Structure 1
Amino acid sequence: MMETTENRKAILQIQRLSKHFEISKGFVKKQTQILKAVDEVDLVVYEGETLGIVGESGCGKSTLGNMIMHLTESTSGNILFEGADLTQLSREELRRKRKDIQMIFQDPFSSLNPRWKVFDIIAEPLRTHGLAEGKSLKEQVHTLLEAVGLSPDYANRFPHQFSGGQRQRVGIGRALALKPKLIVCDEPVSALDVSIQSQILNLLSILQKRYGLTYIFIAHGLPAVAYISDRIAVMYLGKVVEIGDKEDLLNHPAHPYTEGLLASAPVTDPQLRTKRKVLEGETPNPLNPPSGCAFHTRCPYVKDRCKIETPALQLAGSGRSVACHYPLEAGGGVLLHG
């Protein structure tokens, strides 16, 4: 039975999901270490919303997205999509489910087959699932191109004949072909020029309303996540350290890491200032993470307890959860959107 909260239906539930990699080093005497790329993550995604996942490079957000798509096998945990556990499905059952879960990739060039014309790139999912052929297939491809803002005449061109933004539109058209319910957007604008990023974000918003889509939007840049998301989850060293409604989290961060991300984000208005602490230091080695709270080596508010005891992700007000022994008091804020 799917979870519902405030009349919202949970389309995806991630339960204690982990991905651990074995890393071997040494030539004569090999040693094996465990890299916890994703470590016991719990998340709920509600139907029709955009859940943003943000964090520095190496925090595990893309690995999490790949596990949802089953491109990376999980070490442990469960991924419930509309009540079905994707980690327990057979290959054939998973193939049928893939129709409802699609992905938009980070690099709009390497994610497209350079030998195929745009028509074949978008038509391939329809052919694979036996959903269209002949005249119907041509009409659907042309309709998808128009939906993402491209002329149907572009169907006979190759990916190298397009700009980065146009190639990403082709990738979005391919993701839409099977009429999915959930789309995982893995840093879909990070490889694009800033001037093009807003166009793609606006296109994703338009398509979400038109087709009733649910998004998981992964990015390391907080402004893009803030612009498109309804809720935001913040990840650090494989764990979710804070999650909540966008407005709440941006204006009143409860975790020091979230505060640092906000302070590091660019602000266009020179009159806007923030008293939040800017992140200092480097992300710890994930093969040898700090004891206790993994963020304590960079936290400006660190106390002795933080160095020993690992904080659990706990409720900290309505719709907000935070993994911190001493959550920040509400206050301050920086305008990243609107």
Structure 2
Amino acid sequence: MPAGRTGSRGGRFVERGGCDELQSYDNRNVMLKIERLSKHYAIGGGWRKSRRKVLRAVDGVDLTVYEGETLGIVGESGCGKSTLGHMIMHLTEPTEGRIEFDGVDLSTLSKEQLRRKRKHIQMIFQDPFSSLNPRMKVFDLIAEPLRTHPDENGKSLADQVHAILEAVGLPPEYADRYPHQFSGGQRQRIGIGRALAVKPKLIVCDEPVSALDVSIQAQILNLLSVLQKRYGLTYVFIAHGLPAVAYMSDRIAVMYMGRVVEIADKERLLRHPLHPYTEGLIASIPVSSPERRGEGRNALTGETPNPLDPPAGCPFHTRCPYAQHRCRSETPVLKTVAGGPDRQVACHYPLEEASKGVATIG
């Protein structure tokens, strides 16, 4: 991963000569607000609906994204983070809940109003191979959103496409080539250019580097960071790798089995996690020395429970080294803890309390 970055954007802890400094969270504009957002799927049962089970892919998520920041969403595969991103884009209809973008409830918009609003919300997809139409040249791939949402600045379509290619680090002459003529990293640059074409306010990055080689991942992350500063973008950055999320994000939301279990400023979350699952994710980060792996942390053990038959109480209690009787019977809610309104955790015994009296799972 690239070296840690510094700055004062988004109201976060920043590193300056080894000193941490808390930026003010006051007077920020809310770009995206999600309330009680859920997506449930009925599975199996055939004609006997009474035997169907419900898969709660996303279950009652509340999130706020502020203008100009990057909110990272991290969790193991199957935790619901990509489904959440698709619902923000309205590629997947929510079962319930509310998505408010730029002060407007998207569920109240007509199809035409939603189409116009989508100009300001774009997405970078995970797989640069399947997300680009192999029958279209790069020029048409980038020009397609420009034709749907014409730019009124008077520039020709060709000039706009060439400017976008240059912005993502590709020569303008690549516009006449097909996707199969590019490497994975180049294809992802094309996908980024396509998302950038209509000058959005918010971009949902759905695991944009997970399908790329490690050496290319750093280049794409750096490109996203540069573009954010240049165009004043707001990101929702989704990934299952904590190093990539930590590099890109101002704040991080940790998801487990469809729920957000912890939200915090990046520096606070990495240095002082409150949820045992977050602690496990940090302990799972690869280190150069095997002897230091998981040093000072409890690494994740066991398997994620069957989402069609989740355990009672806290969904994580079957893997938690601090679980107590209450955890097996009562589901914790996401609540604000010491450290400000952006420090939240869904745990009956946050790590600061759990460390005072650890109970082994029986």
Coarse TM-score class (shorter-chain normalised): over 0.9
Q: Which runs of 5+ in 1 are unaligned?
A: 333-338
List 4+ stretches of structure 1 deviating above 4 A.
26-30, 132-135, 269-273
Percent of paired sites with the same residue: 73
Within a 5 Å distance, the mapping from 1:138-177 to structure 2 comes to 138-177=158-197
Secondary structure in 2 matching 1:200: helix
Looking at structure 2, the residues matched to 291 and 93 of structure 1 have their Cα atoms a distance apart, in angstroms, of 42
Within a 5 Å distance, the mapping from 1:185-196 to structure 2 comes to 185-196=205-216
Within a 5 Å distance, the mapping from 1:36-47 to structure 2 comes to 36-47=56-67
Q: Does 1:211 align with 2:236?
A: no
Residue identity opposite 1:277 in structure 2: N
Secondary structure in 1 matching 2:192: helix
Partner of 2:330 in structure 1? 309
Q: Is the contact between residue 126 and residue 132 of structure 1 (CA under 8 Å) also seen in structure 2?
A: no
Residue identity opposite 1:325 in structure 2: H
Secondary structure in 2 matching 1:64: helix
Partner of 1:328 in structure 2? 351
1:184 alignment partner, one of 204, 208, 221: 204
Looking at structure 1, the residues matched to 231 and 41 of structure 2 have their Cα atoms a distance apart, in angstroms, of 37
The alpha carbon displacement at 1:329 in A equals 1.8
The alpha carbon displacement at 1:134 in A equals 9.9
Secondary structure in 2 matching 1:8: coil
Residue identity opposite 2:349 in structure 1: Y
Residue identity opposite 1:322 in structure 2: V
Q: Which moved more, 1:20-29 or 1:38-47?
A: 20-29
The alpha carbon displacement at 1:207 in A equals 0.1
Looking at structure 2, the residues matched to 119 and 234 of structure 1 have their Cα atoms a distance apart, in angstroms, of 38
- 1:251-279 CA-to-partner distances (Å, cap 9, x unmatched) read 10000000000101112356755121111
Within a 5 Å distance, the mapping from 1:168-317 to structure 2 comes to 168-268=188-288, 272=292, 274-317=295-338
- 1:104-154 CA-to-partner distances (Å, cap 9, x unmatched) read 000001000000000000000000123379971000000000000000010
Looking at structure 1, the residues matched to 99 and 48 of structure 2 have their Cα atoms a distance apart, in angstroms, of 40
Q: Which runs of 5+ in 2 are unaligned?
A: 1-23, 356-362
Looking at structure 1, the residues matched to 224 and 236 of structure 2 have their Cα atoms a distance apart, in angstroms, of 12
TM-score by length of 1: 0.93
Q: Is the contact between residue 22 and residue 35 of structure 1 (CA under 8 Å) also seen in structure 2?
A: yes
Looking at structure 1, the residues matched to 237 and 288 of structure 2 have their Cα atoms a distance apart, in angstroms, of 23
Partner of 2:71 in structure 1? 51
Looking at structure 2, the residues matched to 158 and 305 of structure 1 have their Cα atoms a distance apart, in angstroms, of 58
Q: Is the contact between residue 24 and residue 30 of structure 1 (CA under 8 Å) also seen in structure 2?
A: no
Secondary structure in 1 matching 2:127: coil
- 1:154-182 CA-to-partner distances (Å, cap 9, x unmatched) read 00000000000000000000000000000
Looking at structure 2, the residues matched to 259 and 180 of structure 1 have their Cα atoms a distance apart, in angstroms, of 35
Looking at structure 2, the residues matched to 263 and 185 of structure 1 have their Cα atoms a distance apart, in angstroms, of 25
Residue identity opposite 1:321 in structure 2: Q
Looking at structure 1, the residues matched to 206 and 168 of structure 2 have their Cα atoms a distance apart, in angstroms, of 18
Q: Is the contact between residue 127 and residue 133 of structure 1 (CA under 8 Å) also seen in structure 2?
A: no
Residue identity opposite 1:187 in structure 2: E
Partner of 2:29 in structure 1? 9
Looking at structure 1, the residues matched to 141 and 344 of structure 2 have their Cα atoms a distance apart, in angstroms, of 41
Looking at structure 2, the residues matched to 32 and 183 of structure 1 have their Cα atoms a distance apart, in angstroms, of 36
The alpha carbon displacement at 1:9 in A equals 1.1
